Amino acid sequence: MKALVAYYSESGNTEKLAKAIYGGIDVPKKEIMPISEAISKDYDVIFVGFPVQASSVPAKVEGFIKSIPEGKKLAFFVTHGSLRGGQLAISALYYAFSLALKPSVIGTFGCRGQVKPGLIDALLKNPEHKAWAMEAQSAAGHPDKSDLEDGKEFANLMIAKARNM
């Protein structure tokens, strides 16, 4: 079994989580790289990570998800400013699901990621971003140690699940 962690990250939060997930993958062959460099066809299990943007999937990540061939096992992970488990973040995961070939998604994980200082004030004035920006005010410091531990455990469980399929 060969595993890939492919991520997109603008301010480093998703990259931190990607590294924790990579650390939790217990297979002899594994690689981690930005989505811009990733080619999915060589792997059996692919972890795809991205920041939630405008309650959705960043355009660069959409193309990658769509390009993943049939027969791969996919696990999505996201960071987001809004509350963990909230509808604003979950809608992005639903959309990611809709881009992938259906039976291939074996799990998802999300945690909060702080928004760049100064940005929240500007976003609160923008109707498109106001809802999540209000929630994002308490995301400072995330992903924290506990988020990264959870991410690592998620990776471990996904590999166990993929082995048993």
Residues near ligand FMN (CB under 6 A) are: 9-15, 51-55, 79-82, 88-89, 113-115, 132, 136
Strands (E), 11-129: 29-34, 45-51, 73-80, 105-112
**Which is closer to ligand FMN, CB of 24 or CB of 51?**
51
Question: CB-wise, 111 or 155, nearer to ligand FMN?
Answer: 111
Helix (H) or strand (E) holding 90, with range, is helix 87-99
Please state the closest distance from residue 82 (CB atom) to ligand FMN, in A.
Answer: 3
Q: How far is the CB of 118 from ligand FMN (least distance, A)?
A: 12
Write down the least CB distance from residue 119 to ligand FMN, Å. 6
Beta bridge partners of 80: 112
Rounded distance between C-alpha atoms, residue 70 and residue 109, angstroms: 22
Q: Give the shortest CB-78-to-ligand FMN separation in angstroms.
A: 7
55/108 with CB nearer ligand FMN = 55
Q: Which is nearer to ligand FMN, 45 or 89 (CB)?
A: 89
Helical (H) or strand (E) element with 160: helix 145-163
Residue 3 or 136: the one with the smaller Cβ distance to ligand FMN is 136
C-alpha pair distances (Å), 136 with each of 84, 101, 114, 124: 10, 31, 7, 10
d(CA 138, CA 122): 16
State the nearest-atom distance from the C-beta of 48 to ligand FMN, in Å: 13
Q: 112 has which bridge partners?
A: 80
